Amino acid sequence: MHIHILGIGGTFMAGLAQLARAAGHHVTGCDSGVYPPMSTQLEAAEIEVIEGYDSAQTAFEPDCYVVGNAITRGNALLEEILDRGLPYLSGPQWLAENVLKGRWVMAVAGTHGKTTASAMLAWVLEDAGLSPGFLVGGVPVNFGVSARLSGSNTDAPFFVIEADEYDTAFCDKRSKFVHYRPRTAILNNLEFDHADIFADLVAIETQFHHFVRTLPRHGLLVSNAADSNLARVLTKGCWTPVEHFNDTTGWRAEGSDVDGSLQLLHGDELVGSTNWSLTGTHNRSNAVAVMLAARHAGVPFVRSLAALSRFKNVKRRLELRGAAGGVHVYDDFAHHPTAIATTLAGLRSKIGSGRILAVLEPRSNTMKLGVMKALLPASLGDADLVFCYSANLGWNAAEALAPLGDRVITDDDLGRLVTRIASAACAGDQVLVMSNGDFGGIHDKLLAALAARPLSTGNGQPEEPRTAESGR
């Protein structure tokens, strides 16, 4: 089968492309401005990517067009497909019919932590010899790719998928995860997000309810007992056995970021322990959920704990990109206030009292709309200095972040922002860059600026905003 993918540069669609290629299909695709790591993975898979959406691409005459959810009415190629009555499917539907059908699907859903938990689960199964396929919204370091059809045992039934609640396609406004029909599912947490497609929290809860309705009665649902929104979803109906985590009388985790300890407990009973490289209460919660899901696939806790000691997380999850001038630069995907706060807390617990310079690009659709702007100051509380890239926003970043006082600098010019960060940073500081995009390559630009400056440049304070008169 020849499939042509519209929006192939997105994490999900690029992963789908790799799966289709591994399954023996002829795969081509198109997008605008594809960047690493997805561009690199597509190139490695020898998948042809065309820049733009020219309607002339119908000359390829594929068996089916697979349309990503970023593609909207008015797109030239989509309009040509519709006018000519050519065959098309959404990405989730194609995946369900051509990859997931007949497999033991293990889905990880929730507002936060999906990518890390999905990668963690895939690794635990892999380490236990179960050879899972997977599709993850990032690049797990243990695997080096965001998607694969299977491991060494091509007959293994397991497939781990990050179960995203975002909408499916222009023609299907259900959440993507309703297509996956998992046997095992994790519900990590539930908050309001994706304000561009959901009117309110109730609308998201409805989609999670639809997801729960797809689980079989002989499956397993692993749910966060500490999340009242998830509890409300389950009260609407659940036909599948449930294991709860973050339950003081049931399954929970303890541990320390100082020594990397991780303990699995059931009530007051210590079930097992290990040491690992991840930090934060949220990741310890991820670990418990993963161990419960893996047990459903036959992996005992002792084996899961051993695997977690060798887990290397996902790129762009508190990933150290480099150091220059005594300053460490981290990259993280955080873009929701809760994720920002959690990421900062994780870094704070790791470094102690050292200075953290938080660099934020409010790039997601929700953040651009300004729906979460009132929550940003509190989410950045663990940062000593905050730098916000304010270009292309429909709201005033300086005004929204004003509660942070003189700890914050906003700028709509990326080059100037890099200069200001480099000027403020001192040896021993940690710079945490947070964005769900490539942020204009700011990490390399910042490392270069730090390397080029005199060591005495950092003064510990943000530059005063320049005026036109002062040569801005």
Annotated binding residues for ATP, as ranges? 110-116
Locate all alpha helices (DSSP H) within 370-438, ordered by sequence: 376-379, 397-400, 414-424
| DSSP of 249-296 | TSEEEEEETTTTEEEEEETTEEEEEEE-S--SHHHHHHHHHHHHHHHH
Q: Which residues contact 120 (CB under 8 A, 6 or more apart)?
A: 286, 287, 290, 308, 311
Contact 384, 355 (CB under 8 A): yes
| CA 429 centroid distance within chain | 26
Six-digit token string for 184: 């095992």
C-alpha–C-alpha distance, residues 96 and 181, integer Å: 8
C-alpha–C-alpha distance, residues 437 and 362, integer Å: 10
Return the bridge partners of 254, or none: 263
C-alpha–C-alpha distance, residues 397 and 99, integer Å: 43
What letter would DSSP give residue 198? Answer: -
Burial of 209 (0-12, 13-18, 19+ CB in 10 A): middle
Cis omega (within 30 of 0) on the bond before 403? Answer: no
Binding-site residues: 110-116
| DSSP of 8-70 | TTSHHHHHHHHHHHHTT-EEEEEESS--TTHHHHHHHTT-EEEES--GGGGGG--SEEEE-TT
Contact 40, 103 (CB under 8 A): no
Q: Which helix (H) or strand (E) holds 169?
A: strand 167-169
C-alpha–C-alpha distance, residues 23 and 41, integer Å: 16
Q: Choose among 386, 402, 404: nearest CA to 340.
A: 386
Residue type present at position 152: S
Contact 176, 164 (CB under 8 A): yes
